[in-house]
Amino acid sequence: DSGVTQTPKHLITATGQRVTLRCSPRSGDLSVYWYQQSLDQGLQFLIQYYNGEERAKGNILERFSAQQFPDLHSELNLSSLELGDSALYFCASSVVGLAEETQYFGPGTRLLVL
């Protein structure tokens, strides 16, 4: 158990819909990261937050957005969903976000868009 929790575990929805994925980092970790894992794209970094502020952005679509709240939990919002958004979405956390820090991953949310 990494200490990072993600809900829900599974999500099935239809094209055009909007969903929210939630992540609670390990106790004491200020930095949260979101990743997408799909068969064709592999593991891709989406976005990073540090203590409520966006720190780095990766290959995140404009239809996707995220935020980190004062209690440090984070939410990833996916809107106007397409079939190709079906993937495993991971959240990870680390203490402050330095390069050498270990990122601890949650169990993931499996999203299926029908």
Partner 1 sequence: GNSVTQMEGPVTLSEEAFLTINCTYTATGYPSLFWYVQYPGEGLQLLLKATKADDKGSNKGFEATYRKETTSFHLEKGSVQVSDSAVYFCALRYNTDKLIFGTGTRLQVFP
The residue ranges that bind partner 1 (CB under 8 A) are: 2, 4, 33, 42-43, 45, 48, 55-56, 58, 90, 92, 97-100, 102-108
Give one DSSP letter per residue of 26-77, joined into a string. PTT--EEEEEEEETTTEEEEEEEEETTEEEEE-S--TTEEEEE-TTS-EEEE
Specify the pairing of strand 42-50 against strand 31-38. antiparallel
Q: d(Cα 1, Cα 49) in Å, to the nearest integer?
A: 22
Provide, rounded to whole angstroms, the least separation between the CB of residue 16 and partner 1. 29
Provide, rounded to whole angstroms, the least separation between the CB of residue 41 and partner 1. 10
Please identify, using beta-carbon distances, which residue of 64 and 104 lies nearer to partner 1. Answer: 104
Please identify, using beta-carbon distances, which residue of 14 and 53 lies nearer to partner 1. Answer: 53
Please identify, using beta-carbon distances, which residue of 10 and 70 lies nearer to partner 1. Answer: 10
Determine contact, residues 113/13, Cβ cutoff 8 Å. Answer: yes
Provide, rounded to whole angstroms, the least separation between the CB of residue 65 and partner 1. 17
